[in-house]
Amino acid sequence: MQAPAPDFAVTARRISKNYGAVEALRNLSLDFPRGQLTSLLGPSGCGKTTLLKIIAGLLEPTSGEVEVNGKAVTGPGPDRAFVFQDFALLPWANVLRNVAFGLELRGVARSEREAIAEGYIRNVGLAGFEASYPHELSGGMRQRVGLARALSVDAQVLLMDEPFSAVDEQTRRKFQEDLLALVQREAKTFIFVTHSIEEAVYVSDQIAILLPRPSRVSEIIRPGGFRKKGADQIRRDPEYLDIVDEIWASLRSYVE
């Protein structure tokens, strides 16, 4: 009965999305390998967030289909968790409740969900801040809360919408290193939207370059060997630098 396990955790097939007369995505197909991190990279307005929200089930495509583990997406599901660009934390709830909120919405009993949340709060390095409110945290710490919330529902696919764009540069670098470790540690599939070329090359197993109006996948890049050299070696690796240059060369004509 069981078909050979597909290599792809998520597949998007011929996705089109129109907003009225505006074509945001046209006939876009893309596969996301299981257990890896795929970046959607492109200039602003290229529809990468739209695609991510379609995968999340938050938006409906005009045509086409997304499959997660072979099942068609009709709405949000327990197999996907979302990390938001603006963190989307509840300002009236402390860190513990925010992290446990995904489980709370799923009806998990309080003691159980708080135990799970505490574990992930420690994992993302926020131990001791359980009782703090979001306004008491820095931007980077807030996004760690958002990440812990997404991890605590234990979805196989993590959807991240420019998660580091609202944090400062140093925090961002730390986040990127942590993300590499996270991909290693958790057997999850990551889909990561970014507009930073360096970030995409640094963190991704696979980079899908999207070009705008209407948006389509122009190129798929799979960075090779340098990713195994250790987080602190990547940024000076010649292959890393070449890929960054190459992507910039193909994108620059689309940037006004």
Partner 1 sequence: MMPQRSLMLTLLSAAIVFGAWQIAGMIPVSYAFPTFLETMAALMRMILDGTLFVAFGETLKPLLVGIAISAALGIGLGLWIGLSGWFDWLFSPIFIVMQAAPLAALIPLLVMVYGIGLTSKVFVVCIMAMPVIVLNTSGAVRNTPSSLKEMGRSFLGSERDIVLKIILPAASPIIFSGLRLGVSAGFIGAVLAELKITPTGVGDIISYSRSIADYPSMYAAIFSIILLAVLFLNLLERLEDFLFEGNNRGYASDT
List interacting residues with partner 1 (CB under 8 A).
Answer: 53, 56-58, 75-78, 80-82, 84-94, 101-102, 104-106, 133-135, 137, 139, 142, 149, 153, 166
CA 123 to chain centre: 18
Count of C-beta atoms within a 10 Å radius of residue 246? 15
Query: What is the Cα–Cα distance from 190 to 201, expressed in whole angstroms?
Result: 14
CA 143 to chain centre: 12
Q: Which of 106, 5, 15 is nearest to 55 (CA)?
A: 15
Q: Which is nearer to partner 1, 4 or 75 (CB)?
A: 75
What is the closest distance, in whole angstroms, from the C-beta atom of residue 62 to partner 1 in the complex?
Answer: 19
What is the closest distance, in whole angstroms, from the C-beta atom of residue 118 to partner 1 in the complex?
Answer: 18
Q: Which is nearer to partner 1, 105 or 115 (CB)?
A: 105
What is the closest distance, in whole angstroms, from the C-beta atom of residue 153 to partner 1 in the complex?
Answer: 7
Q: Which is nearer to partner 1, 23 or 104 (CB)?
A: 104
What is the closest distance, in whole angstroms, from the C-beta atom of residue 133 to partner 1 in the complex?
Answer: 4
Q: Which is nearer to partner 1, 78 or 128 (CB)?
A: 78
Q: Which of 17, 85, 10 is nearest to 50 (CA)?
A: 17
Q: Token pair for residue 237? A: 């690796």
